[in-house]
Chains A and B, each alone.
Chain A
Amino acid sequence: MTTVATKTSTAPELSRARSTSAWLHRHPSARLLGLLSLPGLWLVVAYLGSLAVMLIAAFWATNDFTGAVEHRTTLDNFRALVTQPVYRRVALRSLGVAALVTLVDTLIALPMAYYMAKVASPRVRRLLVVAVLTPLWASYLVKAYAWRVMFAKGGVVDWLLSPVGGHGPGFGLRATVITLSYLWLPFMVLPVFAGLERIPDALLEASADQGARPLRTFRSVVLPLLFPALLAGSIFTFSLSLGDYITVKIVGGASQLASNVIYDNITTGGNLPFASAAAFFPIIVMVGYLLAVRRAGALDDL
């Protein structure tokens, strides 16, 4: 009795489901829309939406006394950022640190990745890839504090340099650059390694057969082919360094970077609009950087 009843009730549902799927089959665009609507909604509302709210907040003001956000449109935040020299100095310093970190990582990653891709045996190569990836499993804070202990007075760095009569850089921008370079190194090594692996050995041999010295081969054959991979790696190291505010707090001594201005205005100043306005700087720099990279053609292979 009951089985009959369910059968009769499911039959039209089944046919409805069938007709829906048939309709979807005939309308591929509707199918695509249905599939993408949820992730699309997430992208627009949660991701771009929050970004948009932040950017709009940059034009708001705060109450002088209670610090409450007031929804009146003003350009005061941007005016302060542009006219006060301290923000220019901080911005330039941040750019310098990000560029330096990228340079240091490139210089370390090139020989490392070259050895991994072209010289090491497959077994050693696997071990090296694991070795490069392992630090990513450890917490960022643990690594940064480890460097703080090493850079401290009488720490490992001082101890290592004492036989040659030197001492560590102490806390400051130099310590920040070293720590950031360490933190982001895997993000440079991996793309460069992948890029080098894609260069056929035959090209290098052909170059050598034509009488090119290793340096010449590197400059004329490897580097042009590797350029997109280098740029891809630099996007990571540059943007991560530009956005970092914790490392400089831990090992940077009294110095501050652009992201500290944002952070301080949120936690200390309680001035969200000003922080939002300050956030325009890294956004503009990164958009400009990405556009430049795109022009260079490094994004074509992604």
Chain B
Amino acid sequence: MHGRPRTALVAVVGAGLLVLAGCGGSSGGGAKAADSAPPVPKVAMLDAVGAGEGQLDLVNWAGYAEDGTNDKTVDWVLPFEKATGCKVNDKIGNTSDEMVTLMKSGQYDGVSASGDATLRLIYGGLVAPVNTSLVPNYATVQDFLKNRPWNSVGSQMYGIPHGWGANLLMWNTKKVSTPPTSWGAVFDAASPYKGAVTAYDSPIYIADAALYLMRTKPDLKITNPYALDRTQLDAAVALLKTQRTLVGEYWSDYTKEVQAFESGNSVLGTTWQVIANLVTSDKKATVQAVIPQEGATGWSDTWMVAAKAKHPNCMYKWMDWITSAKVNAQVAEWFGEAPAQSLACDQTSDKTFCATYHAADKAYSDRIFYWTTPTKHCLDGRGNVCTDYATWTQEWTAIKG
């Protein structure tokens, strides 16, 4: 009775081993490990923008490609489709890591990458250098966003700046009695809001803890929250492990955070302006969002073209569209960020918008610590003593426990 299944099992296992052996053989000659930053892979740049290909596949942050479904008046995708004939298919990336993974799939033409994704994309050979002369609106982009370490290599731009802003501290004004002014509110072990605190679910959030320590624990000598040696990282991780006991729910999906704040499951934590806007427009909860006294981490986003884009012409048309004064103003106001386009400030519906977001204020922009990929080679120039992103990822799992 048992004989037959057993022979079958042996056959199946045998076949599996054969496959194993076959694969093992072919995978022998692999690539070498690189210790320092590897050379930038050579990827061809577009020479001229031709007719659109009819389709455009984007990976973008929530709120960057609005077609009127969230709010009828917020729509710059349909006009783009009408003007260029490029149908936009957008895929929302919830974290920079997710964006890098999505871009690795090779199915997308472009991405709105933050500074902690851009270099990984460039050095991974996933994105192409951008011929800025083919993007007329690039000329009037704020000068302090051009040729920055996160969007260029050796004065060659790898994308078109989109906008920038800070990660904010948000709270439910009905549930949180005293408005918090410090990030300490989300790290305080004796917080009265235990179980209702939320935090961003990504290893890059370790930098938020490091920023808080940079201001409150000077003896740790943190100068850049993305350049942490082992001791500094351990201190940040310890702080986040304390925070873990307060956190009811981490968020990476922005809709989940909107819902958590509306239901009252979360009352205090990190946010983006767009989330605060969505909660406010739904009118189910009242929230307020600010930059606390310690300053904030933030992002500076860049539209990049995939190295193997199937619709490069449409992507170039999109990059020009999204950085045109009117559209850049629209997306900046919707998302709640400073527009990259200097002319956008004349187009905002709220005339004080650019002043509020310090859009033309280089000094202010310099005070935000933009998401950057942590590497072994310290970003603050201390040498090779820092912890890299792989380590941060492992630590993040350990923090969540």
Contact = CB atoms under 8 A, between A and B. Distances in A.
B390 interface: yes
A113 B244 CA distance: 42
Contact of A268 (B95, B247, B376): B95
Contact of A86 (B98, B104, B398): B398
Contact of A153 (B30, B250, B264, B398): B264
Contacts of A256: 397, 400-401
A67 B100 contact: yes
B23 interface: yes
Contact of A65 (B37, B202, B248, B393): B37
Contacts of B396: 268
Nearest to B94: A267
Most interface-central of A44, A52, A60 (chain B CB within 10 A): A52
Interface in B59-116: 95, 97-98, 100-101, 104
Contacts of A84: 394, 398
A72 B248 contact: no
Contacts of A264: 397
Nearest to B126: A66
B195 A170 contact: yes
Given A63-B33, A70-B31, A72-B33, A269 B400 contact: no
B397 A86 contact: yes
Interface string A50-79: 011101100011111111101110000000
Contacts, number: 131
A154 B398 CA distance: 32
A185 interface: no
A122 interface: no
A254 interface: yes
B375 interface: yes
A66 B397 contact: no
B394 A80 contact: yes
A270 B19 contact: no
B397 A71 contact: no
Contact of B38 (A51, A66, A67, A171): A66
Nearest to A254: B247
Number of chain B interface residues as a range: 35 or more
A48 B16 contact: yes
Contacts of A288: none
Nearest to A89: B401
A300 B2 CA distance: 9
B128 to A, nearest CB: 16
Given A44-B15, A253-B249, A268 B98 contact: yes
Given A61-B33, A267-B101, A269-B393, A254 B264 contact: no
A155 B263 CA distance: 8
A89 to B, nearest CB: 6
Contacts of B19: 44-45, 48-49, 52
Contacts of A99: none
A268 B123 CA distance: 18
Nearest to B262: A152
Interface in B10-38: 12, 15-16, 19-20, 23-24, 27-34, 37-38
Number of chain A interface residues as a range: 35 or more
Most interface-central of A86, A87, A89 (chain B CB within 10 A): A86
Most interface-central of A66, A72, A171, A253 (chain B CB within 10 A): A66
Given A65-B373, A170-B195, A56 B23 contact: yes
A56 B249 contact: no
Interface string B194-230: 0100000011000000000000000000000000000
A70 B30 contact: yes
A261 interface: yes
A55 B120 contact: no
Interface in B375-400: 375-376, 388-390, 393-394, 396-398, 400
Interface in A26-64: 43-45, 48-49, 51-53, 55-56, 60-64
Given A48-B19, A60-B27, A72-B32, 20 more contacts: A43-B12, A45-B19, A55-B20, A64-B388, A64-B390, A66-B38, A66-B124, A67-B390, A70-B30, A70-B33, A71-B27, A71-B28, A153-B265, A155-B263, A170-B248, A256-B401, A268-B203, A268-B393, A268-B396, A269-B393
11 contacts: A44-B19, A52-B19, A65-B37, A70-B30, A80-B394, A84-B394, A90-B397, A171-B248, A171-B249, A268-B95, A269-B203
Interface of B: 1, 12, 15-16, 19-20, 23-24, 27-34, 37-38, 95, 97-98, 100-101, 104, 119-120, 123-124, 195, 202-203, 244, 247-250, 259, 263-265, 373, 375-376, 388-390, 393-394, 396-398, 400-401
Interface of A: 43-45, 48-49, 51-53, 55-56, 60-68, 70-72, 80, 84, 86-87, 89-90, 152-155, 170-171, 253-256, 261, 264-271, 300
